[in-house]
Structure 1
Amino acid sequence: MKIFSKIFLSIKHFWLPIILALITVLTVTACNPANFKSAAAQVPQLVRSILSDPQTFNFPLNQDASTTGLLLLLYEGLITENYQTGKVEPALAESWQFSDDKLKIVFTLREGLKWSDGQPLTVDDVVFTYNDIYFNKAIPTDVRDVLRIGESGKLPSVKKIDERRVEFIVPEPFAPFLRSATGYPILPAHTLEKSVKTKDQEGKPIFLSQWGVDTPPDQIIVNGPYKLERYDTSQRVVFRRNPYYWRKGSKGEPQPYIERIVWQIVESTDTSLLQFRSGGLDTVGVSPDYFSLLKLQEKQGNFKIYNGGPATSTSFVWFNLNKGKRNGKPLVNPVKSRWFNNLQFRQAVAYAIDRQTIINNTFRGLGTTQNSPISVQSPYYLSPKEGLKVYDYNLKKSKELLLKAGFKYNDKNQLVDAEGNRVRFTLLTNAGNKIREAMGSQIKQDLSKIGIQVDFTPIAWNTFTDKISNSLDWEASLMGLTGGLEPNDGANVWNPEGGLHMFNQKPQPGQQPIQGWEVAPWEAQIGQLYIKGARELDEAKRKEIYAETQRITQENLPFIYLVNPLSLSAVRNRFEGIRFSALGGAFWNIHEIKVTD
């Protein structure tokens, strides 16, 4: 290192850009997943990227939506969704039948199902997964929030009928019964049952520490198309085809066809782009700032950019509305908490964000303004044409709302509250996501026009999620969630006690208690409407219920929705069988995709 330093310092200044460029190329090449191939193992593989390390390989404990797709390579449930048609299809269960009153559903498992260690997968595993894990209050899982039924929050009962049939019973009509309740991954009783029953020194199931990222891959027993082969921290997660996976091709050949999948951990979307262009990645999400460049290179690079229309993801700014205290200390500075909990303040912020400029500049026109938590693909989506309130850019209206709420401007044109406190807060997002970083910078600039100082601070993903869901030590954030067809899949966001009720989070099992936690009337109303919507079997009435939830969310703005980008991905032409959709992306049907070279 000393020798290199002397040489480097003696080089003339005009060589510096060349040296830096060379270092960049060497760094990208060294991290290039294309180099992750041994001479003895040239097998059909797919190489893609993810922004951060997984937090766990234990699906029920995972709270990171960005790694859900990775985990679903390992696990499968009774049913699945066809993301091209939107219909429910058989998975581990070959068939199902509802009772006449719609309160019972009996699933029949396929014959000969096995776990990745060769052990039989049986009805006992299904009963164990639901009764001992998903329904276990000692296990903090977001899955349970979606499965709660009615005002009482009762869970379905699950019981074994015989060696191949299992029965689910709900206490009252539950419209999303099939789609929401029975697609969650089934877990192996023979491997995990002991960890659920055994308690640690604090009286918690040791299941909570099972299948972490430090677990040897061969100890993680799965039923999906792939099993974990290796995990190199901050480098890659490697999956190998599960030889006991149940699916077969048209000629009886085992599926999936792709032998190995490598998820390269790349903490910058810019680096992912470099790796894709150099041939190291087989697919990359096409963000708007990359679109023009990649479009010109489609033929030369032997890839295709797929466009699925508006993405199912949401993006939003939200404030910490939690009025509670921990150990006598307010989670949010009381002065700022009063701002955030002022409806006119939130509405003023919404009017001050120039979403069209964000679309034009950050998204290069490849997006639309977003106004609802429900995906546009959903039959329950309420459009602005149908009466949904929108917050188009209007600085005059924004300032009027602030003045009406008791705020005022000082002689420096800075916004202050009635007590003279300067309106200033920190806006967090996850570092490495260039689109979000650009959006945050734009929002900072927009809000400065109404006298608000925003300290925009991108931080590491794991630190960010810990603040949002655990320590609750934050003021405002910029993030997004993934949507879908069924509104009840978002019940854990809108149930005041849900694990993703981020704007006013109640402590989850195992977290420190909060004193003085309050639920606003509109907040409770949304939660009640989600219960009512899940109970209603008449589709027209159900649509109106969810329309009302969207009206309330847009009036009260727990989330200030921003932009809905187009769903764009670039995929190498050597993959056959791609059925791209905004709901599932390029590889939702991974079992039937083939490598052609």
Structure 2
Amino acid sequence: MLYRSDHGDRARGWTRRGFLKAAASAAGAAALAGCTSGGDDNSRAGGNSTGARGKGSVTEPLPRPKSFAQSPTLQDKELPPVAERLPEHPYVVPHRWISAGKYGGRLNMNVFSTQGAAAAASDYNFSYGHSPLRWLNDGQDIGPGIAESWESNDDATEWTFHFRKGLRWSDGEPWTTADVLFWWEEFVLAEKMGQVVADEARSGTGKPARFSAPDDHTLTLTFDAPAPLTADRVANWVNGNVGRTGPIWSMPAHYLKQFHPKWGKKIPDDWDSVGGLMETKADWHRNPDCPTLTGWRCKSFDNNTGVVLERNPYYWVVAPNGDQLPYLDELQFTVITDPEAGKLQLQQGNIDFCYGRFNQIALGDVQGIRDSAKRSGVEVLLWDSGAGGGLAVMFNYDFIDDELRGLIREPKFRQALSHAYHRDEVRRSVYFNTGELTTGTMSPKAVEYRVNDTGRQMYRQWKDSYVAYDPEKAKAILDGLGLRDSDGDGLRELPSGEPLTLRLDYHADHSQAQQTRDNQLVADLKAVGIKLTLNPVPPQSYDDQWQTGKLMARDDWEIGDGPNHLVYPQFFVPIEAQRWAPLQGQWYARRGTALEKTEGRLDPWKRHPPRLEPDAGSPIDRLWKLYDRSKTEPDEMKRHQLVWDMIKIHLSDGPFMMGTVANYPQVMVAKTDLRNVPRRDNLMLGGYVNPWIHPTPAVYDPECWYWEDPAEH
């Protein structure tokens, strides 16, 4: 079976960017050394026999097993034989570190959320089941998903995806390309349920592709201009999640049509009344009746307590020996509203696996977890975060106050703040001297930094540009901007004579690590004569206030997307409303739509939505022009050059986002008898776990995990 591709370096359908085999950065190695005591938890097998098995994932399709096996729990379910429930060519998990497993048992996890299980994130990130393509080898390669192969024409204006024949939803009904068209036509083009045209479905000019399906297993996307990054963008996210990050891509039309006004006999033709119903019914995560393509389907859901997922008997993925996955019978996610209570559960042995980012478990908790390991039966795994900036602060480039907005847009002002920031104190207190200090960049694992010496130099220049702690330099810059202490109280005033007070608006439920960083920044800025106040904002209203320019600075994002700068460039280029230039980002997002030329006489902050066109020649205008060129450039090296040109704007006019520490270790905790969970040494770049678009742990196929003795779990 050959994975087809005729475009560029996609010689066999797997993206092969030279299949770079660079080791993780020296910073990552130093991080591991700094975070371990008495041995490296990630380089030994410990209680997991996979610790020394292999590194990375193969980039050639593994052969179809000669026979298949299934979980004993499915024997009496009156199901077709397992071979008939699988597609003709099931996906064979390609990771070198896995071994044949055992069926059975439940995996108990908790997830921090103050807004209930429907808003929790970690359970959505556990399965790549709906995704046409998927990342491999920490973002270096792209492999097939529900699409078995794909190709493009020479100029990348037409992409064709060949889906697996025999693919079935979890209720046994056939999956076809009609399920993609149902999502595309009835929700995306119809603008229902908050669905918008995803990046992978837009050309370089911003226009949506034309979707067509010549048969049940073939889908063609036709663009009006070259779209060379289509495969990369299709691999992003864990698709199929209603109301969550990432596009849905396909929906079970056979089930959902009964709730749609066009087909439902008793459904009113009124989306205002049925939209909420449809959204609930379409969410496989909280509706046990909704079919899914993921490894586990919803068994029970309670917004206050959590969700239980059970094995999908029609899951289309197998182990190399032919075992239909998943091995685990169930996953249980219990919602916690107090991170300390979650840590106590972990130390008492009630939690089997924990992904620190979703549970507010940080490096400062590692020693306590290790101290209780004998009782809890867990071990700490440290995978590279891949973060480009760690805890980051972004001042609102489109803040509603004229004088303060002008100051925020002044590069020298932001450079002074960056030099006043004692990042090394945050590195010591939050990151325990791991990772490397950084001004704030995209992920250091991005291909543009590793492709050649120019790329490596561009990374170092950006990382080091304004990272030096130099309060005297900061004071001199602020003096030069006319920001002086006129009344002798030790704090500077604006040129207008008004007090200069900055405000950091943060989510009211932010973590202890964020609080530590924020307190450090308050003290550092006071030392150079700037007052910074901390303002807690309810999470429910936070995004709306940011997007309307009412919040001055935010601290809840972490920089680090990749695997290249262009596949998800929101930190790099303002193209949406949540990063550092929200109103101008909203202008970009609506280019080419009916809204672009409307409300021209209104104050930009009073438009619907608030949006602002950048000034000609401004940094954002220049970034947009380069980015637009990159979207239609089929030559990969020329795209890298365009990225480097954009980095130069960040060097001259930045920093637009103020990071702290790059590529620190991310904490994972697993029971010692949970098998096939990779160690850092198993992963091609040591891990790349923080970016949403490289979804963890889905990229490492938790469906392969199994218990050494399932009867005990």
- Normalising by structure 1, report the TM-score: 0.80
Q: Secondary structure at the match of 1:546?
A: helix
**Residue in structure 2 matched with residue 334 of structure 1 by the alignment:** 402
Cα 1:378/1:215, change in 2 over 3 Å = closer
Pair 1:448 & 2:554 matched: no
Pair 1:594 & 2:702 matched: no
Contact 1:56 1:211 in 2 (8 A): no
The residue correspondences of 1:448-467 to structure 2 (distance < 5 A) are 448-467=526-545
Cα 1:268/1:534, change in 2 over 3 Å = farther
Render the CA deviation track for 1:535-574: whole Å, top value 9, x for unaligned. Answer: 2232322222112222323432322222223223221112
> In the TM superposition, what is the alpha-carbon distance from 1:123 to its structure 2 partner?
1.0
The residue correspondences of 1:360-375 to structure 2 (distance < 5 A) are 360-375=428-443
> In the TM superposition, what is the alpha-carbon distance from 1:414 to its structure 2 partner?
0.6
Determine the C-alpha separation between the residues in 2 that align with 1:276 and 1:352. Answer: 38
Match of 1:281 among 351, 355, 362: 351
Render the CA deviation track for 1:212-247: whole Å, top value 9, x for unaligned. Answer: 889962243322112223333343232222222212
**Residue in structure 2 matched with residue 36 of structure 1 by the alignment:** none
More moved, 159-168 vs 245-254: 245-254
> In the TM superposition, what is the alpha-carbon distance from 1:576 to its structure 2 partner?
0.8
Tell me the number of residue pairs that the alignment of Structure 1 and Structure 2 aligns: 539
Determine the C-alpha separation between the residues in 2 that align with 1:167 and 1:99. Answer: 11
Pair 1:407 & 2:507 matched: no
Cα 1:553/1:526, change in 2 over 3 Å = same
Contact 1:78 1:93 in 2 (8 A): yes
Determine the C-alpha separation between the residues in 2 that align with 1:132 and 1:213. Answer: 16
**Residue in structure 2 matched with residue 178 of structure 1 by the alignment:** 231
- In structure 1, stretches of 5+ residues that fail to align are 1-41, 58-63, 324-331
Pair 1:489 & 2:567 matched: yes
Match of 2:448 among 354, 368, 380: 380
- Normalising by structure 2, report the TM-score: 0.68
> In the TM superposition, what is the alpha-carbon distance from 1:121 to its structure 2 partner?
1.1
Contact 2:132 2:146 in 1 (8 A): yes
> In the TM superposition, what is the alpha-carbon distance from 1:395 to its structure 2 partner?
0.9
Contact 1:495 1:501 in 2 (8 A): no
User: 2:107 is aligned with what amino acid?
Assistant: L
User: 2:706 is aligned with what amino acid?
Assistant: K
Cα 1:122/1:56, change in 2 over 3 Å = farther
Q: Secondary structure at the match of 1:94?
A: strand
Contact 1:53 1:233 in 2 (8 A): no
Render the CA deviation track for 1:252-298: whole Å, top value 9, x for unaligned. Answer: 43311112212222234333222211112223325121123334555
**Residue in structure 2 matched with residue 257 of structure 1 by the alignment:** 327
Structure 1 or 2: more helix by fraction: 1
**Residue in structure 2 matched with residue 421 of structure 1 by the alignment:** 498
Determine the C-alpha separation between the residues in 2 that align with 1:374 and 1:514. Answer: 28
Cα 1:259/1:385, change in 2 over 3 Å = closer
**Residue in structure 1 matched with residue 108 of structure 2 by the alignment:** 47
> In the TM superposition, what is the alpha-carbon distance from 1:93 to its structure 2 partner?
1.4
Cα 1:76/1:359, change in 2 over 3 Å = same
Determine the C-alpha separation between the residues in 2 that align with 1:215 and 1:276. Answer: 24
Render the CA deviation track for 1:416-445: whole Å, top value 9, x for unaligned. Answer: 101222122321233242211211111111
- In structure 2, stretches of 5+ residues that fail to align are 1-102, 241-249, 263-267, 450-454, 596-605, 680-686, 690-694
> In the TM superposition, what is the alpha-carbon distance from 1:367 to its structure 2 partner?
2.6
RMSD of aligned alpha carbons: 3.4
Contact 1:146 1:488 in 2 (8 A): no
Contact 1:269 1:432 in 2 (8 A): no
Determine the C-alpha separation between the residues in 2 that align with 1:142 and 1:373. Answer: 28
**Residue in structure 2 matched with residue 8 of structure 1 by the alignment:** none
Determine the C-alpha separation between the residues in 1 that align with 2:180 and 2:527. Answer: 56
Match of 1:513 among 608, 622, 625: 608
Q: Which structure exhibits the higher relative contact order, with contacts defined as CA atoms closer than 8 Å and separated by 6 or more residues?
A: 2
> In the TM superposition, what is the alpha-carbon distance from 1:208 to its structure 2 partner?
7.8
Determine the C-alpha separation between the residues in 1 that align with 2:610 and 2:225. Answer: 34
Q: Secondary structure at the match of 1:561?
A: coil
Match of 1:248 among 297, 318, 321: 318
Determine the C-alpha separation between the residues in 2 that align with 1:371 and 1:394. Answer: 13
Q: Secondary structure at the match of 1:416?
A: coil
**Residue in structure 2 matched with residue 478 of structure 1 by the alignment:** 555
> In the TM superposition, what is the alpha-carbon distance from 1:514 to its structure 2 partner?
4.9
**Residue in structure 2 matched with residue 328 of structure 1 by the alignment:** none
Determine the C-alpha separation between the residues in 1 that align with 2:199 and 2:153. Answer: 24
More moved, 564-573 vs 99-108: 99-108
**Residue in structure 2 matched with residue 32 of structure 1 by the alignment:** none
Determine the C-alpha separation between the residues in 2 that align with 1:397 and 1:204. Answer: 59
Pair 1:538 & 2:635 matched: yes
Cα 1:142/1:320, change in 2 over 3 Å = farther
Render the CA deviation track for 1:292-312: whole Å, top value 9, x for unaligned. Answer: 333455566433322223433
Identity across aligned pairs (percent)? 17
Determine the C-alpha separation between the residues in 2 that align with 1:516 and 1:109. Answer: 40
> In the TM superposition, what is the alpha-carbon distance from 1:83 to its structure 2 partner?
4.5
**Residue in structure 2 matched with residue 582 of structure 1 by the alignment:** 688
Contact 2:132 2:144 in 1 (8 A): yes
Determine the C-alpha separation between the residues in 1 that align with 2:114 and 2:181. Answer: 31
User: 1:363 is aligned with what amino acid?
Assistant: Y
Pair 1:503 & 2:581 matched: yes
Cα 1:202/1:276, change in 2 over 3 Å = closer
Q: Secondary structure at the match of 2:566?
A: helix
